[in-house]
Structure 1
Amino acid sequence: MSDAVSALNGAEFNGLAKVVETGLGGMITLRGDLASDRIKAAVKAATGTEVPATRRIAIGAAGAAAWMSPDELLLMVEYDRVGAVVAKLGEDLAGAHHMAVNVSDARACFAVSGPAAREVIAKVAPVDLAPGQFEAGDFRRTRFAQVAGAFWLDEAGVFHIVCFRSVAAYMFNLLSTAAHPHAKVGVYA
């Protein structure tokens, strides 16, 4: 069997911000009644965190849980743990209406960091990124120009982006163009 590889093999661009394809990430789509005690317990067991509030991401000792919709979470764990976590979710939620699917290999992940990271993301995603409007722990599903994606901001000021693997090259080129040194707008500077 061949080894798993990321979509762009760690591609990197340095400009107004640093854009990096961050490699393989373990991701599970979990659907069900997010208010149920069984789902809450299963999320806690899988990630070490609570079910997040609407449009938020919660980081735990074993992973993260991001709000995707009123009945859907994106669970993020180590890539090598995904199969075991999906199996455990199936056991923990047996008999309960739910769906837990490994979507790791269908996704690409990026990080945008540096003083102009907020501006770079604001150029390509229709989200109010003004300080005070989008802060650490906030999570959004949106469009990046022509493609769907989701992103969040961490405590260190780094934006993390998840998109379909099939559009990874488009996303990297889009972010790199927005981060080009000649593309400075200065809205948040």
Structure 2
Amino acid sequence: MSEPVSALKNAVYSDGIAQISEMGAVGMITLRGDLAAKPLQKAAIAAAGVNMPEQRQCLTEGTGGMAWMSTDELLIMCAYADATAMLADLQEKLAGSHTLSVNVSDARAVFEVRGPHAREVMAKLAPVDLSPAAFTPGMFRRTRMAQVPAAFWMPEEDVFHVVCFRSVAQYVFDLLSIAAQPGSKVDVNWSRAE
């Protein structure tokens, strides 16, 4: 079996105000259905290893996690090597229920934006209020970054994880790198911005 290859082969940009890193191959399963249904909740929690996320929330633990994508959709994250078996387990547990689960690992790219100016880098690119009072660790947004759809969350302070389609991975990496280039600090006074 061949080794998985991520879209940009773990590209890193570290010369600017934040470090931009492609996170390599990440296991991701889209699960659609009635999020209030107990069988779906039980199967999703068992797969992700975290509780059900609330609206606009992403919960993570190690390589596992789960993000609320919409009123009927979750994104379950895991180690890349575990995604196929996890999908089979989900489909077995949810057989007979009105759900859809798909392994989207190879269709996505994941980036990390890290550093004390990570919030500024992200604020340049997405129409989201990223002030510390409005966007805190664990929060999740689906939005656009310049010309492409993307989603992001903060697993911890000063760190953002960004998910986009694999087909636009280079574009998103370049966007993030330009937004983080040396001398591009905005010096936002977040307390005044709130």
* TM-score by shorter chain over 0.5: yes
> Segments of 4+ in structure 1 off by > 3 A?
none
Aligned residue in 2 for 1:66? 67
What SS does structure 2 have at the residue aligned with 1:53?
Answer: coil
Deviations 1:38-86 (A, max 9, x none): 0110011101122110000122466111000000000001100001111
Superposition RMSD in Å: 1.3
5+ unaligned residues in a row in structure 2: which ranges? none
What SS does structure 1 have at the residue aligned with 2:97?
Answer: coil
Aligned residue in 2 for 1:4? 4
Percent identical among aligned pairs is 56
Aligned residue in 2 for 1:24? 25
**Aligned in 2, Cα 1:3/1:177: closer, same or farther, shift over 3 Å?**
same
Tell me, yes or no, if the aligned pair for 1:48 and 1:61 is still in contact at 8 Å: no
The TM-score normalised by the length of structure 1 is 0.96
1:180 CA drift (Å): 0.5
Aligned residue in 2 for 1:96? 97
**Aligned in 2, Cα 1:61/1:17: closer, same or farther, shift over 3 Å?**
closer
1:147 CA drift (Å): 0.6
The TM-score normalised by the length of structure 2 is 0.94
- Counterpart-to-counterpart distance in 1, 2:180 and 2:140: 21
Tell me, yes or no, if the aligned pair for 2:136 and 2:157 is still in contact at 8 Å: no
Tell me, yes or no, if the aligned pair for 1:49 and 1:61 is still in contact at 8 Å: no
Tell me, yes or no, if the aligned pair for 1:118 and 1:188 is still in contact at 8 Å: no
Aligned residue in 2 for 1:115? 116
- Counterpart-to-counterpart distance in 2, 1:62 and 1:143: 25
Tell me, yes or no, if the aligned pair for 1:130 and 1:188 is still in contact at 8 Å: no
Aligned residue in 2 for 1:80? 81
**Aligned in 2, Cα 1:167/1:61: closer, same or farther, shift over 3 Å?**
closer
Aligned residue in 2 for 1:13? 13
- Counterpart-to-counterpart distance in 2, 1:112 and 1:164: 17
- Counterpart-to-counterpart distance in 2, 1:188 and 1:166: 36
